[in-house]
Each structure stands twice: as structure tokens, then as C-alpha cells.
Amino acid sequence: MDTTPFIVLSAILFTIGGIGVLTRRNAIVVFMCVELMLNASNLALITFSRANGNLEGQIAAFFVMVVAAAEVVVGLAIIMTIFRTRRSASVDDASLLKY
């Protein structure tokens, strides 16, 4: 099986995620874009696992999912406190610290 299309797809997803992080303003959407980057990485790991003929990539994908879940917990907690304080989840509004 040719694995190249899957790698290309994962690169496209990763790029979409990366551009999303840089351009979107809502903290939740930015965070979703980060998750997209992590999942693109998972796709790449699994594809390389298939191409290399061993299981290490698949095992790593599980770990990445677990870590991403932990990151969601911490991230949503932080975004929630910011939203409750400022009544806004825009990352541009949080700008007291600068220069």
C-alpha cells in the first residue's frame, strides 16, 4: 500500500491547524486548531507505523491522545477562568501584559 497520500493529508491537516492557531481569535477555536495539529501528527505516526512495519508509532498515537485529553482538561480550565473574569474568550482581549 502506498502511504504517501496519508502523509500528505496529515501535512495538510497540520498546516490548517497551524494557520488556525495563528489567525483565529477565540481561545476555544485556537485550542481546537491545536488539537487538529496533534491529530494530524497521530495520522502521520500511524501511517509511518504502517510504512515501517512496527507498532511503535501506533503506541505513540495512543499516548498522544491521552496527553491531548489531559491538555484539554487544563486548557479548558484556564480558558473558563479567563472567560468568567473577562466575559470574553478572545485571545486579543487578554493584553495587560506587553512589551
CA dist., res. 51 & res. 49, Å (int) = 5
> Residue 41 phi/psi, 5° resolution?
-60, -40
Q: Is 1 in the site for other proteins (CB under 8 A)?
A: no
For the CB of residue 2, give the shortest distance to other proteins in the complex, in Å. 14
For 28, half-sphere exposure in the C-beta direction (CA atoms, 13 angstrom radius) is 7
Most distant CA pair in the chain, distance: 53
Report the nearest approach of other proteins to the CB of residue 74 (Å). 5
Q: Is 85 in the site for other proteins (CB under 8 A)?
A: yes
Question: With binding defined as CB under 8 A, does residue 84 bind other proteins?
Answer: yes
Q: Which of 9, 16, 28, 64 binds other proteins (CB under 8 A)?
A: 64
Q: Do residues 90 and 26 touch, judged by C-beta distance below 8 A?
A: yes
Query: Shortest CA distance to 32 belongs to which of 70, 68, 84?
Result: 68
Site residues, other proteins (CB under 8 A)? 7, 10, 14, 17-18, 21, 27, 30-31, 34, 37-38, 40-42, 44-45, 47-49, 51-54, 56-57, 59-60, 63-64, 67, 70-71, 74-75, 77-79, 81-82, 84-86, 91, 94-99
